[in-house]
Chains A and B, each alone.
Chain A
Amino acid sequence: MEEEAETEEQQRFSYQQRLKAAIHYTVGCLCEEVALDKEMQFSKQTIAAISELTFRQCENFAKDLEMFARHAKRTTINTEDVKLLARRSNSLLKYITDKSEEIAQINLERKAQKKKKSEDGGKNSREPAEAGVVESEN
């Protein structure tokens, strides 16, 4: 039992490290873009700090989203939860609201198309396209 727990923990830890590494890489890329834009260099420590911050903040977001969903007596996280999370920053909130409206529209359109297509039986081709669109938008 303990060995399993240890291995599990090790796996989780390694998984976490991989995630952190992925975030670090992404942050590094973004910082390079900004550096090119502002013509200012970023030190490694800065990028490391930013990536660590991002990771912890993602954890907080996740917990808050879960709390919000539970508060609304749901088990799945919704766009409403996300909007609630982003309300602090006005610009971010606006951005997310716009995006969510877009998604809603697209979903409605797709549903309409689906209904049409369902008659034709062409549903399956749409679903992966929708998922891909949604992911890219989010």
Chain B
Amino acid sequence: MADHNPGGDPTPRTLLRRVLDTADPRTPRRPRSARAGAQRALLETASSRRLSGQTKTIAKGRSRGARSIGRSAHVQARGHLEEQTPRTLLKNILLTAPESSILMPESVVKPVPAPQVVQPSRRESSRGSLELQLPELEPSTTLAPGLLAPGRRKQRLRLSMFQQGVDQGLPLSQEPQGNADASSLTSSLNLTFATPLQPQSVQRPGLARRPPARRAVDVGAFLRDLRDTSLAPPNIVLEDTQPFSQPTVGSPNVYHSLPCTPHTGAEDAEQAAGRRTQSSGPGLQNNSPGKPAQFLAGEAEEVDAFALGFLSTSSGVSGEDEVEPLHNGVEEAEKKMKEGVSVSEMEATGAQGPSRAEEPEGHTQVTEAEGSQGTAEAEGPGASSGDEDASSRAASPELASSTPESHQARRHHQFPEPAPPPGAAVLSSEPAEPLLVRCPPRPRTTGPRPRQDPHKAGLSHYVKLFSFFAKMPMERKALEMVEKCLDKYFQHLCDDLEVFAAHAGRKTVKPEDLELLMRRQGLVTDQVSLHVLVERHLPLEYRQLLIPCAYSGNSVFPAQ
């Protein structure tokens, strides 16, 4: 039914016809389509010709081709056109459609009945004259008065526009100049299949879709943002990344992968509370609202805050200090850095746990920090954080001059960055080379680390969790004992598993061995089975790996 010119250009009209044709089968009334189809084609061509003076001949050819196609194509489509169901619907849609709607619609459909009527008469008459079209159009109106009357002009205009577009290779870019009345309507119907870029014709400035205002790209801001986002990965809680990333010379990376969140947390609280009214006050106060500002600036403040936090805890420094570095510059920040470093050294032991716990009182983010620390810090105590503090502080003075906006949330996000393996020894070396710390993560010496570091590396995580859940400050010796106990426990556990597997004549540990172990532990009993425990404690992802479940297609996973 849609015998369009398959090889020819897919004009909007033909496309629409295709659409209409496909919709045909639904309409019960087909028989009427024949005449209407012819009329439609005539109307279309007539309107197109009338409007385009220059392209008459071209339009003629096209319209003829289209007409023939249209006739055949619309023979059936006309059926529902006369019914007015789809067409009136479409017409209504088009009338109400916004100016910049893309679809090209009915303009093809609607004009169909009108022009088609004209065609036969036109053929008889000379085709080139616009004048002749008028009388020709009249009979068409009589044929489908309801349809044509209101939208005749529109339809014609649309058709002409289409024809023009087709002829000139543009989709509806040109509106009929002559029809001011219709222009408003047609513009609304000026839907094209092509990209919306075209329809901005100079001729209809009011209706043209305005091109998106393009702002010039601010390269500086762009680069800054790049740096910022690369510097501050938002969720580093569980990543074991190095604290210092590479450095671009221009980017003062203050890598802060400080696990000393609690410090900053305390500092934030202090800052918020202890802001003295100073000129810098408002600037600093930007911190609390946490504007998403430059990372660098934020870091500068963080570091300063950190240093201040130490100082305040140790010497009760007021908020003035916070302001100073920002405004007075590098020197004070460095000073504080060094002080902070020394303080951090002191704290770079298990005592950090308690100190951390003490500082952030009332600060909501502290618990997060601790938790994240517990998870993030893979190795040892906060000595590493001390290192990072120092190094970050080293870079911070450079940032001191930048705008004092900081993103509080960002700050805390950075903290959970896992501490690199540092040693207290590194801390002492830090102050000596503050500004050189910007270099990429240098291999940290382990220093005074226990020898079984690689083995106990994982245990420190559990020890941190233990200290977190204890909710009380813990002595370092207690933590060490906990670590030893955990070590023995896990070793024993693995030995048992190995023995159980060997007992069953296997070399691989299987879930049955685990179940036997849990039974011996008393977790699995005759009343409580392993599956019950799995359901109770494990998340769904693991549960569906462990407990066989039937899925669609009668497949059971995991296979038993």
Contact = CB atoms under 8 A, between A and B. Distances in A.
Interface residues of B, number: 10
B512 interface: yes
Interface in A38-95: 64, 67-68, 71-73, 80-81, 84, 87
Given A84-B499, A87-B499, A73 B504 contact: yes
Of residues A67, A71, A73, which shows the largest number of chain B Cβ atoms within 10 Å of its Cβ?
A71
Contacts of B519: 67
Interface string B488-523: 000000000001100111000000110010011000
B503 A71 contact: yes
A71 B516 contact: yes
B499 A67 contact: no
A84 B520 contact: no
A72 B513 CA distance: 10
Interface in B460-511: 499-500, 503-505
Contacts of B504: 71-73
B503 A72 contact: yes
Contacts of A87: 499
A64 B520 contact: yes
Nearest to B495: A87
A67 B503 contact: no
B380 to A, nearest CB: 32
Contacts of A68: 503, 516
Contacts of A81: 503
A80 B503 contact: yes
Contacts of A72: 503-505
Nearest to B519: A67
B499 A71 contact: no
Nearest to B520: A64
Contacts of A73: 504
B512 A71 contact: yes
Nearest to B512: A71
B390 to A, nearest CB: 49
A72 B512 CA distance: 10
B500 A71 contact: yes
A81 B513 CA distance: 14
A68 B519 CA distance: 11
Contacts of B499: 84, 87
A64 B500 CA distance: 12
Nearest to B515: A71
A71 B496 CA distance: 13
A67 B504 CA distance: 11
B516 A67 contact: yes
A81 B503 CA distance: 8
A125 to B, nearest CB: 36
B508 to A, nearest CB: 14
A64 B520 CA distance: 7
A75 to B, nearest CB: 14
A129 B446 CA distance: 67
A79 to B, nearest CB: 12
B49 to A, nearest CB: 94
Nearest to B500: A71
A64 B496 CA distance: 13
Given A68-B503, A71-B500, A84-B499, 19 more contacts: A64-B520, A67-B516, A67-B519, A67-B520, A68-B516, A71-B503, A71-B504, A71-B512, A71-B513, A71-B516, A72-B503, A72-B504, A72-B505, A73-B504, A80-B503, A81-B503, A84-B500, A84-B503, A87-B499
9 contacts: A67-B519, A71-B500, A71-B503, A71-B504, A71-B513, A71-B516, A72-B504, A72-B505, A84-B499
Please list the 8 inter-chain residue pairs (A to B) with the smallest Cβ-Cβ separation, ordered nearest first: A72-B504, A71-B516, A72-B503, A71-B504, A84-B503, A67-B519, A67-B516, A84-B499
Interface of A: 64, 67-68, 71-73, 80-81, 84, 87
Interface of B: 499-500, 503-505, 512-513, 516, 519-520
